[in-house]
Each structure stands twice: as structure tokens, then as C-alpha cells.
Structure 1
Amino acid sequence: MALQWMILAYVVAAEAAVAIVLTLPSPRAIKSRIVSLISLILQPSLFIIPFAGFQLLDIYWKNEHRLMCTGEICTAAERDRYEKSIYKAQRNAVLCIGACLLYWCIYRICKYHRDIQSMEVVEKRYKDE
């Protein structure tokens, strides 16, 4: 199970790096090449959405079937273990939501850039006429 979270963490880190690269100011020629390269990568990397969704369902299922450790029947060690598992579940849920949100942001940035390029082409065509 830890391998899945490690993979998801690396994907989120890579998505964050790509989002930063996309938003950095750069010359128009370089920016268009970067956007076209990332646009090609976006479709195969769509697997992250169902993967993160499945992980969220797993977190939900485990949360619903987790043994509650409240009251005087729990020892301090059991209570600490219970709280640690809750914190890990919250961290992993934020990781899943972050993966989906970053993918959507990258997709929208690329789409906006392509729309701007097509509008510039149309504007240039109107100016030439």
C-alpha cells in the first residue's frame, strides 16, 4: 500500500513542477514548444484521475470500517496508533485531491495557451485582409 502513496506523491510533485514551468514567463517560441510537449503528455497521464479516485474510495472504506478507539478501554499506545492512522488518511486524501486539481490546472493552462494562439492567428489573418 505504501508504494501506491509513494507513486502518487511523485506524480503530484511532477505535476507541481510542470505547473510551475508552464506559468513561468518565457519567450513565445519556447512557451509554445513546452505547451505542445506537455499537451502530448497530458492524455496518457490521465490515468492519475481514476487512480486517485480509487485511492479516495479506499480511504473512505477504511475510515468507515476502522475500529474506534475512544473511552477508557483503549491504552495510550492504541489511541496514538488510531490518531496516527487518522492523520495519514487525511494526508493521503489531500494528496489525492491535489493530484486531480493539479492535473486539471495543467490541462486548463495548456488549453488557454492553445486558445490564445488560435486567436492570434485569427487576428493576424484579419489584419492582413
Structure 2
Amino acid sequence: MALQWLVLTYVVAAEAALAILITLPSPKLFRNRIVSLVSLILQPTFFIVPFAGFQLLDLYWKNEHRLICTSEVCTDTERDRYEKAIYKAQRNVILSVAAILIYWCISRICKYQKDLQSLEELEKRHKSK
């Protein structure tokens, strides 16, 4: 189970780096090439959306069936273990949502950049006529 979260962590880090890379101001030629490269990468990496969605469902199911340790019968160790599990689950929810959200943002940014590029080409054609 820890391997899944490690993979998701690396994917979110890579997505964040890509998002920063394509949003930084840069020369037009460089930006267009980066956006086209990222657009090619986006389609095969779509697996992250169902993967993160499944992880969210798994976290929800575990949360619904988790034993609650809030009474006085629980020892301090059990209470600490319960609170640690809750914190890990909250962190993992944030990680899963971030993976989906950043993927969506990258795809929208790439689409807008491509639309902008096609409009600039259309404007050049109209000016030349």
C-alpha cells in the first residue's frame, strides 16, 4: 500500500514541475515546443486520474469501516495510533485530489496554449491577405 502512495507522490511532484515549466514566461518558440511535448505526454499519463480516483474510494471505504477509538477504554497507544491513521488518511486524500487537479490544470493550460497558437497563425494569415 505504501508503494501506491509513493508513486502518487512522485506523479504529483512531476505534474507540479510540468505545471511550473509550462506557466513560466519564456520565448514563444521554447514555450510552443514545451507545450507540444507536454501534450504528447498527457494522453498516456491519463491513467493517473482513475488511479487517484480509486485511491479516494479506498480511503473513503476505510474511513467508513475504521474502528473509532475515542472512549476512555482506549489506551494512549491505541489513541495515538488512531490519530496517526487519521492524519495519514487526510494527507493521502489531499495527495489524490492534487494529482487529479494538477493533471486537469496542465491539460487546460496546454489546450489554451494550442488555441492561442492557432489564433496567432490565423491572425498572421488574415494580415498577409
TM range (shorter): over 0.9
- Residue number in structure 2 paired with 1:113: 113
- Residue number in structure 2 paired with 1:81: 81
TM-score, with length taken from structure 2: 0.99
Q: For 1:36 and 1:122, how far apart are their aligned partners in 2?
A: 18
The residue type equivalent to 1:20 in the other structure is I
Matches within 5 A, 1:27-38: 27-38=27-38
The residue type equivalent to 2:3 in the other structure is L
- Residue number in structure 2 paired with 1:49: 49
SS in 2 for 1:123: helix
- Residue number in structure 1 paired with 2:4: 4
Give the superposition deviation at 1:126: 0.9
Sequence identity percentage: 70
Give the superposition deviation at 1:71: 1.1
Q: Which runs of 5+ in 1 are unaligned?
A: none
- Residue number in structure 1 paired with 2:24: 24
**Partner deviation per Cα, 1:7-65 (whole Å, 9 max, x = no partner):** 00000000000000001111111111100100000000000000000000000010011
Give the superposition deviation at 1:2: 0.1
**Partner deviation per Cα, 1:42-98 (whole Å, 9 max, x = no partner):** 000000000000000000010011001011110000000000000000000000000
Give the superposition deviation at 1:109: 0.6
Q: For 1:52 and 1:116, how far apart are their aligned partners in 2?
A: 31
The residue type equivalent to 2:95 in the other structure is L
SS in 1 for 2:68: coil
TM-score, with length taken from structure 1: 0.99
The residue type equivalent to 1:80 in the other structure is D
Q: For 1:63 and 1:79, how far apart are their aligned partners in 2?
A: 16
Q: For 1:120 and 1:72, how far apart are their aligned partners in 2?
A: 68
Give the superposition deviation at 1:125: 1.0
Please report the RMSD computed on the Cα atoms of aligned residues, expressed in angstroms: 0.5
